[in-house]
Amino acid sequence: MPSDFHDWDLTQVSPIYKTSIAGSERDVIATVGKDGVLRVLDRNTHEQWFEAEVTTLSNVEEPLTLEGVHACPGILGGVEWNGPAYNPATNMLYVPAVDWCSTFSLVEEVRYIAGRSYLGGSVAMDAEMKGHVTAIDAGDGTIRWQFDSPRPIVGAVTTTAGGLVLAGELTGDFLVFDARSGAELLRFNTGGPIGGGIVSYEVEGKQYVAVMSGRPSPFWTGAHPGSPTALVFALPDEE
């Protein structure tokens, strides 16, 4: 991110896949960071094929001032930690995101003070925050569906060969969506914020889903961090 003054670094692993773009099969990589923009690049030529916004964007290029500039995403916005999931059956990317703006301000004199953050200015985060899971066509960047959460989505998004998308909210709810339509199929409260991994795996022919709940970063949990818990789900055995 050239000349970055919002802390919009790339914080997650980028999926690689093959897809048809402009009538030709391409080897691509999908990258998205705290700037809230998904970009799909040709892995061989590094050419950007398309981009798609997954959070609110405003005042992105506005120079900072002493009075402050309100910009979106903020210092904790965009895509944090957990990156997109790709499903070859739907040819969609599923992106978790934080929609949280901030006001960035310069200071008249930049001073280094031992033991304190050295930012070269100050930042104030908005009181309101929310999140999204966005399904994007992996070949052209069209948004196919979007789920809106009252809190940031910082946990992993996992998609399965059976046509599901698995996600979690800081409200503690574990969510299962139809991968094609975005219809909500299951909502289960885990008792603590979901900010970590969601894993699908198989044992002796039976599929399981493991979800980590409780105590992600204090930036996200506030006064209700929950208790660190691993929950494992499976469909009932057929009789």
The DSSP result for 203-236, as a single string, is ETTEEEEEEEES---HHHHTT-----EEEEE-PP
| pLDDT confidence of residue 116 | 84
Domain of residue 48: give its range.
16-233
| pLDDT digit string, tens, across residues 12-48 | 789 999 999 888 899 999 999 899 999 999 999 999 9
Q: In angstroms, rounded to a whole number, what is the distance separating the alpha carbons of residues 145 and 18?
A: 22
Compute the mean pLDDT over every residue in the chain, rounded to the nearest whole number.
Answer: 91
Three-state secondary structure call for residue 113? coil
Residue 3 lies in a domain: no
Tokens standing for 146?
Answer: 């979007």
Which band of pLDDT confidence, cut at 50, 70 and 90, is reported for residue 5? Answer: confident
116 or 216, which is more confident:
116
Instruction: Quote the number of domains for the chain.
Output: 1
**182-190 contact pairs (CB < 8 A, 24+):** 182/135, 182/144, 182/145, 182/146, 182/147, 184/147, 188/233, 190/214, 190/226, 190/229, 190/231
Q: Answer yes or no: is pLDDT of 238 > 70.
A: yes
CATH number of the domain residue 183 falls in: 2.140.10.10
Which band of pLDDT confidence, cut at 50, 70 and 90, is reported for residue 110? Answer: confident
| pLDDT confidence of residue 224 | 64
217 or 78, which is more confident:
78
Residue 100 lies in a domain: yes
Residue 239 lies in a domain: no
Q: Answer yes or no: is pLDDT of 235 > 90.
A: no
Q: Answer yes or no: is pLDDT of 9 > 90.
A: no
| pLDDT confidence of residue 8 | 84
| pLDDT confidence of residue 239 | 65
Residue 238 lies in a domain: no
Residue 166 lies in a domain: yes
Residue 2 lies in a domain: no
Q: Answer yes or no: is pLDDT of 213 > 70.
A: yes
Residue 112 lies in a domain: yes
| pLDDT digit string, tens, across residues 147-175 | 999 999 999 999 999 999 999 999 999 99
Percent of the chain with pLDDT over 70: 95
Percent of the chain with pLDDT over 90: 67
Residue 69 lies in a domain: yes
Stated pTM of the model:
0.92
User: Which of 28-32, 60-64, 106-110, 118-122 is most confident?
Assistant: 28-32
